[in-house]
Structure 1
Amino acid sequence: DRYFGITAVYSLENVRYPQADGTVCGLRPEPGAAGKLGCDAGLGAAMMVTATFGMVAAQLAVERLLRPI
């Protein structure tokens, strides 16, 4: 692992790509394959996931602001 000294909020979960039949797969579609990776095609963001990331980021920011100098 590399350490850059940058605080970040991220997930170690692997991406699961939507399939035409409604299932998901861990394999990235081939370039030029039918389908898009936008929210309208099934690969988007759920409110509870993005909200959690935002709240964790806000917590880290407040903790940094309240740190003694």
Structure 2
Amino acid sequence: MMNEFNEFLKQRPYLGGVVFVGMVLGAALAWAVLQQPAESVLDAVSDPGLWVVLPVLAPLLYVAYVATARQNQ
């Protein structure tokens, strides 16, 4: 199943970029929650520093993914 999904995303680099950035953002949010176990999930996720960094990283990751995916086609 994963091979089929990977092949599907290889044919559509823009959609693959969205999936990639979504996975990275999800991992970053999970990491933020795990780094602050004493705080509630809402407090950890609403940290303003996290929301300053993520909007900067998301477009950069998307462009990098799409550029490398299109280059490898």
- TM-score, normalization by structure 2: 0.37
Higher relative contact order (CA 8 A, sep 6+): 2
Higher helix share: 2
Higher strand share: 1
Which is higher, the Rg of structure 1 or of structure 2? 1
- TM-score, normalization by structure 1: 0.38
